[in-house]
Amino acid sequence: MWPFKPAWMSKDWKKALEAVSQLTDQKELANVAQYAENVRLRKLAVEKLSDPKILTALAKNGRGGWIDSNSDVRKKAVEKLSDFAVLSDIANSRDCDRYVCKWMTGNGMALTAKTIDLRDVARERLRELRKKTLEDVERVTNQALLADIAQNAEHSDVRLIAADKLDDKALAQEVYASVAKNEVGAYLRKEAIERLTDPNALADVARNATHGGSRLMAADKLDDKALAQEVYAHVAKNSEDQDMRMAAVKRLTDPETLTDIAQNALYSDVRLEAADRLGDKALAQKVYADVAQRGK
């Protein structure tokens, strides 16, 4: 492969180490990281690498053994990555070669390899990067930049922190509503709704949020109690999540709405709960009988 062996391939450890220490060329460092016989040289090469494409290739490249001679190099490469998408891909990988050797314990024939899952390394790196990103946003004071981050950042926690620092409170409310309606994580949706004070934004979330829990939380904060009842009824009748349905129907107080749900809702658990809350006990008995007969 190499007609003239580079100095880093020298059998003389000191000479090889000095050669790697002086390298700056990214392609040559990548060669060291992949092909040097001594793992310490390979890890040193990774430490000196900055090319994200090369680091990504090293991080994802197992060599066929569940713990191979390349495993520690992969771990070191993952720890240097800063691309959220690449790290997320590794964190969710089903790569059968994803385990890396962390240390050996025991003695003699009793030596045992202790391992770490490369996915956990990627998740920890993601946490570190997210924390740094949040700390960086905390330092930003430029309002135009904060507005851009609040509206366009990839991660909702970053958007919330930027919105908190906006002088434009109307825009901040729009950001909170957007997170409340669309964020996957329940904790961040809750954080966003707790920040909402604008009646129109609350109504928007109550009507249009993707998750039933967000709709209920926003409706709970509405001054418009009639709208809140409409939202509770809609979630009670339509949510596929049983906990959400039951939480919604228990918030209902309007007799006509309870009657409608008791008689017509698709899910029997909601019909029974609504019937339990009816003042009309004769109608409640009819609902119980109908549910029992239908068996659903």
pLDDT tens track for 50-108: 999 999 988 887 553 434 455 678 888 999 999 988 898 888 887 766 777 655 555 55
Q: Give domain status of residue 1, yes or no.
A: no
Q: How many Cβ atoms from other residues are within 10 Å of residue 186's Cβ?
A: 12
According to the model, what pLDDT value does residue 94 have? 79
205 and 239 in one domain?
no
257-280 tens-digit pLDDT: 999 999 888 889 889 989 988 888
Q: What span, in angstroms and rounded, lies between the C-alpha atoms of 182 and 239?
A: 16
Provide the number of structural domains found in the chain: 3
The length of the chain is 296
Q: Residue 56: inside a domain, yes or no?
A: yes
Amino acid 111: pLDDT: 54
Residue 259 and residue 278 in contact, taking contact as beta carbons nearer than 8 Å: yes
What is the chain's pLDDT, residue by residue, as a tens digit (296 residues)? Answer: 556 788 889 888 889 999 999 999 999 999 888 888 888 888 899 999 999 999 998 888 755 343 445 567 888 899 999 998 889 888 888 776 677 765 555 555 555 666 788 889 999 999 999 899 999 999 999 999 999 999 999 889 999 999 999 999 999 999 999 999 999 889 999 999 999 999 999 999 999 999 999 999 999 999 999 999 999 999 999 888 989 999 999 999 999 999 999 988 888 988 998 998 888 888 889 989 988 887 65
pLDDT at 102: 59
Same domain? For 253 and 189 the reply is no
- What pLDDT, on the 0 to 100 scale, is given for residue 295? 64
Segments forming the whole domain that contains residue 17: 7-127
Q: Do residues 159 and 215 share a domain?
A: yes
Of 67, 97, 127, which marks where a domain is finished? Answer: 127
Same structural domain, 65 and 96 = yes
Question: Where does a domain end: 92, 127, 162?
Answer: 127
Say if residues 171 and 150 touch (Cβ distance below 8 Å). Answer: yes
Q: What is the model's pLDDT at position 250?
A: 93
CA–CA separation, 194 and 142 (whole Å): 25
74 falls within a domain: yes
Please list, in sequence order, all residues whose beta carbon lies within 8 angstroms of the beta carbon of residue 258, skipping any fewer than 6 positions away: 249, 252, 274, 277, 278
Q: What is the pLDDT of residue 110?
A: 56
CA angle, corner 252, sides to 248 and 258, nearest 5? 110
Pair 55, 161 in one domain: no
241 lies in the same domain as 283: yes
Domain boundary among 127, 151, 172: 127
